[in-house]
Structure 1
Amino acid sequence: MDRITLGNEEFEGRNNAYVLADEETDELALVDTGIATDPVRRDLRDGLADRGYEFADVDDIVLTHFHVDHAGLAGEIQAESDATVYVHEADAPMVAQDPDAIAAVEERRRDRLEEWGVPEDAQSELLEFLESAEIDGPPAEPTPIEDGEILEVGGRTLETIHAPGHAAGLCCFETADGDEAFVGDAVLPVYTPNVGGADVRIERPLEKYVATLRRLADRDYERVWPGHRDPIADPTDRALTILEHHRERTETILELLVDHGPADAWTISAHLFGDLEGIHIVHGPGEAFAHLDHLRHEGVVAFENGEYRLLEDAVSLDDLF
């Protein structure tokens, strides 16, 4: 698979943009574009130039999800090329930078931070980071897609596999032979994708992500192409490993509630991750919340007066994962 490795100092390390080119029809597509910073813009332009292309030659852009490190340059490329930008319908308003959608997310994030018990100084630090990053790029005009939709781009046939959890509209794109897929941040080779803080729009984020991991494991791909770092040669094993990671994290959180008593998501995240800064001020308690919320819906904990209280001392997690 032809990929351009993009620098990324803001989030989870090297991003990937995948180049799909059909020499017979001269069709050119990109899967993800990278973040809208000068170094990444340069990386992508140089990578395309090495292959004999420029932004104006791109016919289609397939976005795995709306996060700026994957979709940031889509609007700029579309402005130069009139490319069609495909993204799941849940994420289309974010890629379009619809003011109402963005305002709703900002309000939801503020509410979540309060609910999670994040201190005012940490909230201010997060807001300063978000306002100073300058990584959004111009908006794109997206074409919404949904689960099961077939795309014909760059001489390839791709099936859309909706894979929410990390983002509401995250999608994987399965190749025609069914052996491989572009998976964005659904499965990563080094990190475990953040759940709960990366997209505050999602209700029951961990439940949705567990279902995504099981769906991907059931498809038993031979190889997948992630949004960050290197290809994953045994994606079924990696998906199951991440699933086990979340089971173990849930066990840890239960132990913390037993040892320390009722706590809010910020306190739990401090036990899990220590001091947080930058984007992790929302990712840390968001991750803790995703697990606590999962336990609450399963009747294991109660949420009262801003804290989660254990209802049962002995809990089996078999039905949760």
Structure 2
Amino acid sequence: MDRISLGNEEFEGRNNAYVLADDDADTLALVDTGLATDPVRRDLRNGLAERGYDVADVDDIVLTHFHADHAGLAGEIQAESDATVYVHEADAPLVAQQPAAVAAVEDRRRDRLEEWGVPEDARAELLAFLEAAEIEGRPVDPTPIADGDVLTVGGRTLETIHTPGHAAGLCCFELDGGDEAFVGDAVLPVYTPNVGGADLRVDHPLEKYTAALTRLADRDYERVWPGHRDPISEPTDRALAILEHHRERTETILEFLAANGPADAWTVSAHLFGDLDGIHIVHGPGETFAHLDHLRHEGCLAYENGDYRLRDGAIDLEAVVPSVRTHRRGSDGR
């Protein structure tokens, strides 16, 4: 297994495409492909060439999720190589660029931005950013997969672990039934993956994401290979640190509402993140919404006319977002 580092100036730092090759069986697979931009296209083609391969040699592509910085070049590679492209069934319609699926995402985005109280000028800036990016690439003819499916690609076996939250179809892939996994954007080494704004299709995104983090922590891998930047050598600690981050963010939001009274997601987002531009115009209030929505469904907040307010009574934060201290490490949740 080998890693090709790909340029990415739009999102969370350099992407990774992972190369799985079985020279005896003459099979070649990629895990993720990067953005459909010329610099990334050159990075990927040059990286394959340095290893003695060409895009036409690719037999299989495994996508961790539909986001363009992971799936953008999949359609182009498939057209050139006739590769099979595996992606979770929830994300398959989006990588296929089915008009109804794309329109549903756009409708949900419009509704959410209005619901969150995002100003018109910020909405216009976001739309301009999305239209100018041109990073989606060609449509894919996907082969849908589901939790528990085992793929044999590039001479390796990958067990599919569905970990929604950041995206509805985000999957991790355990490598050869061992102590390593590809984790896409479920766990990142530097940033905390966006939850709530990165995929507006996900209902109760924080609940789903914390469950995904717990599932990965329970597997207690020795090393994982993320969608961005370098490998993570202590992934359980990193997963639990992200869980603690969300607990602390929940506390910050509760303190803000206690001090300032009812507020919409955009107002709370400004307190958390300050001024936002580009993709962060949806990521900031989206992550704020994920926390507010979770607190609402846990009975801590009331919601009326776009504003969230504290309900009367004490809040058991440990029950709302369990802390690292209460997580049972090494329980082998396989």
- The bucket for the TM-score relative to the shorter chain is over 0.9
What CA distance in whole angstroms lies between the structure 2 residues aligned with 1:312 and 1:31?
49
The residue aligned with 2:214 is 214
The residue aligned with 2:203 is 203
Q: Which one-letter code corresponds to 1:143 in the other structure?
A: T
| SS of 1:200 mapped into structure 2 | coil
The residue aligned with 2:138 is 138
1:313 deviates by 5.4
The residue aligned with 1:109 is 109
The correspondence of residues 8-157 of structure 1 with structure 2, limited to 5 A, is: 8-157=8-157
What CA distance in whole angstroms lies between the structure 2 residues aligned with 1:111 and 1:2?
42
Counting aligned pairs with the same residue, the percent is: 81
- Structure 2 residue runs of 5 or longer lacking an equivalent are 322-334
The residue aligned with 1:255 is 255
What CA distance in whole angstroms lies between the structure 1 residues aligned with 2:235 and 2:148?
20
Q: Which one-letter code corresponds to 1:193 in the other structure?
A: P
What CA distance in whole angstroms lies between the structure 2 residues aligned with 1:297 and 1:144?
31
| SS of 1:86 mapped into structure 2 | strand
The residue aligned with 1:319 is 319
CA RMSD in angstroms, aligned pairs only: 0.7
Q: Which one-letter code corresponds to 1:292 in the other structure?
A: L
| SS of 1:159 mapped into structure 2 | strand
- Structure 1 residue runs of 5 or longer lacking an equivalent are none
Contact 1:94 1:102 in 2 (8 A): yes
Q: Which one-letter code corresponds to 1:119 in the other structure?
A: P
Q: Which one-letter code corresponds to 2:166 in the other structure?
A: H
1:178 deviates by 2.3
2:219 is the counterpart of 1:229: no
The residue aligned with 2:283 is 283
What CA distance in whole angstroms lies between the structure 2 residues aligned with 1:162 and 1:62?
13
- Between the two proteins, the alignment pairs up a number of residues equal to 321
Deviation per residue, 1:262-321 (Å, 9 max, x gap): 000000000000000000000000000000000000000011011001003531211122
Q: Which one-letter code corresponds to 1:183 in the other structure?
A: V
After TM superposition, the runs of 4+ consecutive aligned structure 1 residues lying more than 2 A away are none
| SS of 2:167 mapped into structure 1 | coil
The residue aligned with 1:166 is 166
What CA distance in whole angstroms lies between the structure 2 residues aligned with 1:22 and 1:319?
48
What CA distance in whole angstroms lies between the structure 2 residues aligned with 1:207 and 1:166?
11
